[in-house]
Structure 1
């Protein structure tokens, strides 16, 4: 989202499945309804660039946002945020550790989806120089 918007997204802008609407809102003046066409083109180009890479990693923008919501509902959320610098924090942001957990513990029916999402998160984190999960 940061790459596409060129800034840190606000909490109400954090839905990847809604990114095209976010781009539209971010480039339209709410008072005058004037559209900044240049900014919209820049953001749309960034979106297309990142989606091209994610598609090569197996991501499908029509399927995976829904799958992600299902996974969260099925598996739940963490009971607490890991503290920065703890072994748990590093483990939950470690690609190899998470890959091993997926291969070992995730049911085969959803394993491929989990691996695709993990690969996409890993790619995006590396591109932005950030951890895979921001707590």
Structure 2
């Protein structure tokens, strides 16, 4: 029996777990592809391929090696930073995708200045949600994703979840 009181509460908490993975993905991609307003269809898992695609002129087919180098450097820099938080680029991009697909994301955000919203923006509260919600086999990796998201949030001065 799960320690949570009802299935609706469990479902809400699961979506928070998916949102952690989703928000981390968006933060990573936004730091690499700063010029791109739309990140639709790009994942951290596909970033190396997407770098080449973005650096290629679509009319001439010519690869802009300077742009490719710039984007690759951004990718390597953020991966190194996240690696210091336990992130493994051979594991966590696919794990993030799995987490979003398994748990979903938050569909309705709490009202501004509500206690529910404040709870979602507090990494310690999110850690408690993870410990109550995530199976033991996945908990370590979810906590790594949360640590990385918190680190990026501290660095850019934005809330943990940016909507």
| 1:48 corresponds to 2:76 | yes
- Correspondence for 1:117: 145
| 1:2 corresponds to 2:66 | no
TM-score, normalization by structure 2: 0.71
Structure 1 pair 25/82, CA: closer, same or farther in 2 (3 Å)?
Answer: farther
TM-score, normalization by structure 1: 0.84
| 1:66 corresponds to 2:90 | no
- Correspondence for 1:57: 85
Unaligned runs of 5+ in 2: 1-28
Residue 107 (structure 1) aligned to one of 132, 135, 142: 135
Once residues 96 and 123 of structure 2 are traced to their aligned partners in structure 1, the CA distance between those partners, rounded to angstroms, is 18
Is 114-123 or 7-16 further displaced after alignment? 7-16
Once residues 56 and 105 of structure 2 are traced to their aligned partners in structure 1, the CA distance between those partners, rounded to angstroms, is 34
Tell me how far 1:9 sits from its aligned partner.
Answer: 4.3
Question: How many corresponding residue pairs?
Answer: 135
Is 40-49 or 77-86 further displaced after alignment? 77-86
Whether the 8 Å CA contact 1:93–1:132 is kept in 2: the answer is yes
C-alpha offsets along residues 27-54 of structure 1, whole Å, 9 cap, x if unaligned? 1110001222112111111111110111
Once residues 7 and 94 of structure 1 are traced to their aligned partners in structure 2, the CA distance between those partners, rounded to angstroms, is 29
Once residues 32 and 97 of structure 1 are traced to their aligned partners in structure 2, the CA distance between those partners, rounded to angstroms, is 51
| 1:28 corresponds to 2:56 | yes
Q: CA RMSD in A?
A: 2.0
Higher RCO structure, 1 or 2 (CA under 8 Å, sep 6+): 2
Once residues 84 and 32 of structure 1 are traced to their aligned partners in structure 2, the CA distance between those partners, rounded to angstroms, is 47
Once residues 9 and 79 of structure 1 are traced to their aligned partners in structure 2, the CA distance between those partners, rounded to angstroms, is 21
